Structure 1
């Protein structure tokens, strides 16, 4: 069953039940959460919504108005949302800000969100998705300045095509903002379709004027924005041209990744030099007639500390947090993670390369038995092992649907995913520790010779969600130094509107947050939590001492190519060139800002685009639905023998070879 079919049927089965759960739990807050919220709100930096841009709270977004000074964080700030700032779920009521207020800044993948009545992007000269380079022009109407370095930041701007009522302006960073940096935004010279200038919002116009009297409610805001206006002026932006200006701080690496790295460090310190505890539950030997590639399937469980709030960490669990706010193991709480391994026939001749496999959207470890994975194992002597990405596995479907209608439930997704990543790390350690799987009879031939080579280490290969979450595993694992991220991207807040998969889940979001403008803010708020559990929060340091190969399907219907492009720019991946045939890309400069691979045998991280002939995706934030977008190429790269050859060479040597003969990489659609 395809991912889209799975999601349609799954959403149909569980939507009513999940939304009912969200309604039943409306307003329920644990005493610990309530106490944490009260502590966070003792001395807010501001009261109410930022007055500079009108009555809608959180606009513009992201905005340091919703932070407060904190000398204990790396950025010197901390998010300071109150329940009255955040969207209210029609199913579950107000949002408890505790999970957000742990952060010391905003997401590095944050889109800027605001409303500009009457705005015409073309008449205003906004940089579109097809011409990112225009965003850095001296006269660009939107200027994003990294105040830490003094440089301008690239972006593209679009109106929300899903919301003709509000037509929110969305400004997406073309490369993730840098962890811990401070940014100033200036928006100027905006125009309507007739070319008429759009005046600034009345409160901001007053701020731009003369010094306001002490009793004026905007006086303090005027003082706060004065340094930003000076910064913009130094960059050539005249205050008289401004429609709006504000600033925001990006969360530090410690804030983004600290929960996962803390449970990793604690769990591996407890493990020491030992192999993880595991149990083999079944060994199935296959004849060549049954499977020409795979000789043995091993199923089992692996045991490790659980840092979740319920015994055994079932779906719906969140982190159990200690006095320092970091996840802590409840006494005796053990996570039992299921695994499945596929051992190729080639291993009976030469011990195989150990590899972890990451499954797709709301799937399971059983995807390691898919035909393309078995073919890769058989052709290139890999033993692939997989565990479920708990938090985003088949068993979590109800939880995910409920969380879309109730922000209070969203940590149940992202915090359990982090435990799932730790599960995969322990599976990887069992593969490389000589006292682990290699010592088990299940991983030995009848004559006793090993079928695994733990000395070769462990590598990673994953597709779709396995690429999006797999980037976290590669970034954080103590054992995985090289990984393939197939049909990948990052930043779910950018992806969801652009994915055909989200149509099946959209009713859950509509039920909780029916207003389309609020939905854009919900996407941004969930991204603040997603950053802990998907590549976006780890991207800046993903390739520090590690290598990744990104395989992209041109025109992908499920994981938008723009999200892969942002990832490639952020991690510094080089591009196989020519990437696509002339005329295939609608961009003025195709793959702007992604440097080409310097050689046909490139040692480093890279992105390769595979073209099955599918039309380009929409240029709006909408999914490629309908016949005019043709065949969905999402599964094509993994089914190509050439792709599997390139992956195998990369995973075992770190070299990206050109398997396309110096031409764009093309592959007929998978049958």
Structure 2
């Protein structure tokens, strides 16, 4: 059904974008920076990115700075409507997972010796041509760098620098590009503006005087790290948003909603109970549907698609007076629950999906094999009904804040469902959650778990981080962040068509994706990752060669949250990396069970994914293993033990974990 809906809406979106595109060609034409843009990068405004040139001092924020995009700074789409920077300017810094973007005409990364995805360790070499420095600690930061493989104009090809683990919340980083080479091995000289700024002090009246003063602390930090100005092509600095800036919206909504709730259960109504015979459903005995009443924090009553958070004069989210969100839910109760009370758990559905995915075969198998009752609600903001808004946002970024902000209401809906499931006066007071003798079908003694796949894994880390009730979560075929994932996912292909019409220039597209990530952070794991495992445990299940959620993004997440890698991982020679899973600490199979957060890689024999920022599309990449881990009985056993005991067990013996390919 989603695919049919997507095809219809995509056709409409493409037609609309095609009509709009000719109306404003000047908005998309490649040209020099305008007023307010960084004079160090005349090819395109907002470059290099992220960049403290686009912030201002603000003593009221945790970083002492605030993003300050001007009214004409953000690139308009082909429709030509200016992009309102308000949602971006709420931040006191940039995304902790931000890809750094620079434009270096003629650059040859291989000749330069930049660290590729297969050799992240090279990024920390003393002579590395790209240097990232945490200016607070002096620490060199790991990354991989690549030329944008999607660029159609070599003269407009972006250099993309991806942090190998997220930058620290609230810290400032200095960046240097040095000793860069072209395809013939010739050194690329610094552009004239940077050469002037990095040189002798400029007089107060010079056009670059302000830029030189602003950049001076970054150049000093680089100098202390042994990076001088000689041979440097470009340098700049940026501030990462603080934890409060990144998580404040969701935590404000959560805290207010649970304060209102007090020690009560959320109000609920059971709307349907279906009992199945063993012949109808051998694994599931009962399906229960209903709705939970949740305070509404979106700006339109009922919070329909396209809503954003209702905010007070202080800019913080506030409940819309009198507004409630009715979160529809569905629960699958296994037959085993009628013998022994089952473990309650939330299930997180996939990309732009629905709560009905809790009825998928793999979820029913997990429920039946390990006595779980799984319940799900639509992850509004990224649910099927939000597809028109997501497509529209690619044509007009003014619509984009609705995606993460409605997702935050969706997370609150799930948090209230979790509370209703485990509260003594909650759902278990209804006959739907008891057997014919009135005995409870849920075991309320050990809290509630979370299991999500794909989008349910990508957003699920934020849900786990925010939950007062969930202590452990399984993030299946997961990764972060969308700004890194989209270029590398086959799922993005239909959306890419709209983006191509809205932003034909590929260099500008990369900027737009990172701008999206700045506000998307608040509604996905990326913003919460640096502190996700402070109080919670997560188990990541990864499909090697995943066509939909790139392994590179999962590795960044594992490094950031401190997840231990379960070994052995892959068969010898399977990985193209110089040091496979560089920077991820391991747990040998003989030292299991392990108590903590971990990552298990499941190999279905799929070819290694591309080493560029492109999706594994086409026959050469074989079977998509995206669904294989969840369909593996061994993987389900590992998940169940983790959710119920907090222990990561050895389910693969002394060999790498494998999963049979599923159709």
When normalised by structure 2's length, the TM-score is 0.96
Give matches, 1:11-410, under 5 Å. Answer: 11-18=6-13, 48-91=36-79, 93-165=81-153, 166-410=156-400
Structure 2 counterpart of 1:625: 617
Residue 485 in structure 1 maps to residue 480 in structure 2: no
Residue 642 in structure 1 maps to residue 634 in structure 2: yes
Deviation at 1:19, TM superposition (A): 6.5
Deviation at 1:219, TM superposition (A): 1.3
Deviation at 1:92, TM superposition (A): 5.0
Partner Cα separation in structure 2 for residue 304 and residue 230 of structure 1: 51
Partner Cα separation in structure 1 for residue 116 and residue 330 of structure 2: 45
Structure 2 counterpart of 1:555: 545
Deviation at 1:327, TM superposition (A): 1.1
Match of 2:567, SS state, is: coil
Partner Cα separation in structure 2 for residue 656 and residue 309 of structure 1: 42
Change (3 A) 1:414 1:24: farther
Please say if residues 23 and 91 of structure 1, whose CA atoms lie closer than 8 Å, have aligned partners that are also in contact.
no
Please say if residues 11 and 401 of structure 1, whose CA atoms lie closer than 8 Å, have aligned partners that are also in contact.
no
Residue 587 in structure 1 maps to residue 577 in structure 2: yes
Please say if residues 475 and 541 of structure 2, whose CA atoms lie closer than 8 Å, have aligned partners that are also in contact.
yes
Deviation at 1:662, TM superposition (A): 1.9
Please say if residues 646 and 657 of structure 1, whose CA atoms lie closer than 8 Å, have aligned partners that are also in contact.
yes
Between the two proteins, the alignment pairs up a number of residues equal to 647
- Structure 1: stretches of 5+ with no match in the other structure: 27-45
Please say if residues 565 and 600 of structure 2, whose CA atoms lie closer than 8 Å, have aligned partners that are also in contact.
yes
Match of 1:88, SS state, is: coil
Please say if residues 17 and 398 of structure 1, whose CA atoms lie closer than 8 Å, have aligned partners that are also in contact.
no
Change (3 A) 1:638 1:391: same
Please say if residues 54 and 201 of structure 1, whose CA atoms lie closer than 8 Å, have aligned partners that are also in contact.
no
Partner Cα separation in structure 2 for residue 193 and residue 47 of structure 1: 33
Q: Deviations over 1:509-528 (max 9, x none)?
A: 12221211111001000000
Match of 1:542, SS state, is: helix
Change (3 A) 1:422 1:141: same
Q: Deviations over 1:3-56 (max 9, x none)?
A: xxx44x433211244568899999xxxxxxxxxxxxxxxxxxx96100012231
Partner Cα separation in structure 2 for residue 456 and residue 638 of structure 1: 23
Deviation at 1:507, TM superposition (A): 1.5
Partner Cα separation in structure 2 for residue 516 and residue 187 of structure 1: 21
Match of 1:543, SS state, is: helix
Q: Deviations over 1:173-216 (max 9, x none)?
A: 00000000000011100011111000011100111222222221
Partner Cα separation in structure 2 for residue 290 and residue 123 of structure 1: 63
Please say if residues 17 and 501 of structure 2, whose CA atoms lie closer than 8 Å, have aligned partners that are also in contact.
no
Give matches, 1:563-574, under 5 Å. Answer: 563-574=553-564
Of the three residues 591, 597, 611, the one matched with 1:605 is 597
Partner Cα separation in structure 2 for residue 528 and residue 19 of structure 1: 26
Structure 1 counterpart of 2:26: none
Deviation at 1:232, TM superposition (A): 1.1
Match of 1:635, SS state, is: coil
Q: Deviations over 1:224-267 (max 9, x none)?
A: 22221121111111211110011000000100010000010000
- Structure 2: stretches of 5+ with no match in the other structure: 22-33
Structure 1 counterpart of 2:28: none
Match of 1:597, SS state, is: strand
When normalised by structure 1's length, the TM-score is 0.95
Structure 1 counterpart of 2:519: 529
Deviation at 1:313, TM superposition (A): 0.5
Match of 2:538, SS state, is: strand
Structure 2 counterpart of 1:463: 453
Please say if residues 22 and 406 of structure 1, whose CA atoms lie closer than 8 Å, have aligned partners that are also in contact.
no
Partner Cα separation in structure 1 for residue 484 and residue 349 of structure 2: 21
Structure 1 counterpart of 2:5: 10
Please say if residues 18 and 399 of structure 1, whose CA atoms lie closer than 8 Å, have aligned partners that are also in contact.
no
